[in-house]
Amino acid sequence: LREELERRLRDLGIATDTAEHPQVFTVEEMMPHVQHMKGAHTKNLFLKDKKKKGFWLVTVLHNRQVNLNELAKKLGLGSGNLRFAEENAMLEKLQVGQGCATPLALFCDQGDVSLVLDAALLEGGHEKVYFHPLTNSATTGLSPDDFLKFVRSTGHDPILLHFD
């Protein structure tokens, strides 16, 4: 699957910068391995809406705290309706497991997952934004414009939110 991602990025003319590292499951575990990579590192939350059964991939700057109730209100879902989705749902929708949530997996989605992006990733003047390339033993960087180009190529139009 990672090779398919790399092929898709190449086909779109997107240059990437990837670092291999030990498997990590949290941002805290990841940062020592990637701190030499300048730009915006990310944290990804795979959530579900308990009422409508929709799925949300929320991608924010790595050091953001995300209040699920506030996020649900911003998305018009009503407080208390967002929860972390089970790993099997992420495996089904994005074909990645725990610790591997990434918007780079959106090409696997059949239109069930909505992407919520921290506006600071695109508006912060970052040279690169970083994500796992479908595995939590590597980190891939691409320009914010190329990232948006990739996301749109998967048929997803991201919802930009300000988390400040």
Beta-bridge partner residues of 161: 118
pLDDT tens-digit readout, 75-88: 998 878 899 999 99
Instruction: Tell which residue, 108, 105, 107, 101, has the closest CA to residue 58.
Output: 101
**What does the alpha-carbon distance between residue 115 and residue 24 come to, in Å, rounded to a whole number?**
23
Domain boundaries, the chain: 2-161
pLDDT at 75: 93
Q: pTM higher than 0.75, yes or no? A: yes
Structure-derived torsion over alpha carbons of residues 161, 26, 142, 17, reported in degrees to the nearest 10 = 170
CA distance 136 to 29: 11
**Regions of the chain short of the pLDDT cut 50:** none
Q: How high is the pLDDT of residue 80?
A: 82
Q: Which CATH class is domain 2-161?
A: alpha beta
Other CB atoms within 10 Å distance of the CB of residue 127: 12
pLDDT at 81 (0 to 100): 86
Report the percentage of the chain scoring pLDDT > 90: 87
- Looking at the DSSP bridge assignments, the partners of residue 25 are none
How many helices (DSSP H) and strands (DSSP E) are in the chain? 6, 8
Helix axes 144-153, 2-11, angle to 10 degrees: 110
Nearest Cα to 82, choosing from 59, 49, 45? 49
Count of C-beta atoms within a 10 Å radius of residue 129: 27
pLDDT, tens digit, 9 for 90 and up, residues 43-64: 999 999 987 779 999 999 999 9
Could you tell me the sign of the dihedral formed by the alpha carbons of 146, 150, 153, 157, in that order? negative
Assign residue 146 a region: left if phi > 0, alpha if psi is -120 to 50, beta otherwise?
alpha
The enclosing H or E element of 142 equals strand 138-142
